[in-house]
């Protein structure tokens, strides 16, 4: 065996654990779930398993809870651009020489490192409708009927969006902070010499330069929003009255509470197609505003 073949063999051995992990924990379950979507498997033992064709997908069209979960998921997506914008603003502020800059960077990034369940329980206390500090503050400034937040169907999703924005802001800030330090200073100085204002420099130099990273954060954020589970499960469990139920929670509820494995697999496939469609739309849309 010559040197080149030995190097190839060593390379294959290094990637073998990752390939086995992806195959065992992703590809095989994916194919298994795809097959289950065309069956009526109910119960842990799969009693009465039989092929039902497209019946599960036809059922989705008349499932009001499923349609509501899709709407909630799209509404939940609002936290993605919101956290990206706020992350950019925070990074722009902390990229300057200000007092306590490093501790502030750490403080902004810390929520991203904390468990979603711990974050959820903390915000449940903050959003308590009567004893929570948020409503206590609102009442102290004159609001007689503050929102019920997580206890109300009208404001529960808004509260979830606020929590998700707060949690993901720090990650976006760190990524933006890294790329902002690579923006060529000579371009900024030349623009300022030509009389460009601060906003014009940001619009025509900084934003185009960081547009690939912005696109990356939007794509990753969208995927994570459609796969979100722990935070909402810990805070509301999809309630009240399914007002915060999103598709991953509905898959979990259908599979492990009602044991309708076939129907849950059909929902999971639709969820995959929705994520894929959004990613394709973002990929084609980025050609108009991303500058490489």
d(CA 18, CA 25): 10
Q: Are 168 and 162 in contact (CB under 8 A)?
A: no
Give me 130's structure tokens: 């009567």
Among the listed residues 95, 251, 96, the one whose alpha carbon sits nearest the alpha carbon of residue 174: 95
Per-residue confidence (pLDDT) for residue 204, from 0 to 100: 82
pTM reported for the whole predicted model? 0.88
Per-residue confidence (pLDDT) for residue 46, from 0 to 100: 58
Average pLDDT in the 98-124 region? 87
**69 vs 29, more confident:** 69
CATH class label, 59-288: mainly alpha
d(CA 130, CA 139): 10
Start-to-end CA distance of the chain, whole Å, equals 43
Average pLDDT in the 125-136 region? 91
With bands split at pLDDT 50, 70 and 90, how would you rate the model's confidence at 77? very high
Per-residue confidence (pLDDT) for residue 185, from 0 to 100: 80
**182 vs 60, more confident:** 60
- C-alpha torsion sign, points 156, 218, 176, 234: positive
- Provide the mean pLDDT of the chain: 89
d(CA 44, CA 46): 6
Per-residue confidence (pLDDT) for residue 65, from 0 to 100: 95
Q: Are 255 and 23 in contact (CB under 8 A)?
A: no
Average pLDDT in the 68-72 region? 95
Q: Report the chain's C-alpha Rg in angstroms.
A: 24
Give me 235's structure tokens: 């805070």
DSSP classification of residue 42: B
Q: Are 21 and 15 in contact (CB under 8 A)?
A: no
Where are the strands (E) in the chain, listed by range? Answer: none
Whether the pLDDT of residue 6 is over 90: the answer is no
With bands split at pLDDT 50, 70 and 90, how would you rate the model's confidence at 47? low
161 sits in which H/E element: helix 156-180
d(CA 96, CA 80): 25
Average pLDDT in the 109-117 region? 88
d(CA 242, CA 69): 8
**49 vs 214, more confident:** 214
pLDDT in tens, 184-224: 888 777 877 777 777 888 888 888 899 999 999 999 999 99
Average pLDDT in the 84-93 region? 93
With bands split at pLDDT 50, 70 and 90, how would you rate the model's confidence at 40? confident
Q: What percent of the chain lies above the pLDDT cut of 90?
A: 50
Q: Are 136 and 197 in contact (CB under 8 A)?
A: no
d(CA 77, CA 64): 20
35 sits in which H/E element: helix 28-36
- C-alpha torsion sign, points 134, 138, 141, 144: negative
d(CA 95, CA 176): 9
């Amino acid at each position: 065996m010559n040197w080149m073949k030995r190097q190839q063999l060593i390379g294959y051995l290094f990637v073998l654990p990752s390939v086995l992990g992806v195959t065992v924990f992703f590809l095989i379950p994916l194919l298994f779930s795809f097959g289950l979507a065309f069956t009526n498997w109910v119960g842990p033992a799969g009693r009465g398993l039989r092929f039902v064709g497209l019946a599960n997908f036809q059922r989705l069209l008349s499932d009001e809870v499923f349609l509501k979960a899709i709407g909630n998921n799209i509404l939940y997506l609002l936290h993605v651009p919101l956290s990206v914008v706020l992350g950019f603003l925070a990074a722009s502020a902390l990229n300057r020489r200000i007092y306590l800059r490093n501790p502030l960077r750490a403080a902004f990034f810390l929520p991203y490192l904390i468990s979603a369940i711990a974050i959820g329980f903390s915000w449940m206390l903050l959003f308590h409708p009567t004893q929570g500090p948020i409503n206590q503050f609102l009442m102290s400034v004159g609001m007689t009927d503050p929102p019920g937040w997580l206890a109300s169907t009208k404001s529960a999703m808004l509260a979830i969006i606020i929590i998700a924005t707060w949690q993901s802001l720090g990650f976006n800030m760190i990524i933006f902070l890294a790329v902002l330090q690579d923006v060529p200073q000579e371009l900024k100085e030349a623009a300022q010499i030509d009389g460009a204002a601060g906003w014009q420099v940001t619009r025509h130099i900084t934003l185009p330069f960081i547009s690939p990273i912005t696109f990356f954060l939007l794509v990753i954020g969208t995927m994570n929003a459609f796969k979100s589970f722990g935070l909402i499960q810990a805070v509301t469990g999809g309630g009240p009255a399914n007002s915060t139920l999103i598709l991953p929670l509905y898959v979990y509820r259908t599979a492990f509470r009602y044991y309708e494995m076939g129907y849950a697999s059909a929902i999971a496939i639709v969820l995959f197609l929705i994520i894929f469609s959004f990613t394709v739309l973002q990929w084609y849309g980025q050609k108009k505003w991303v500058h490489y």
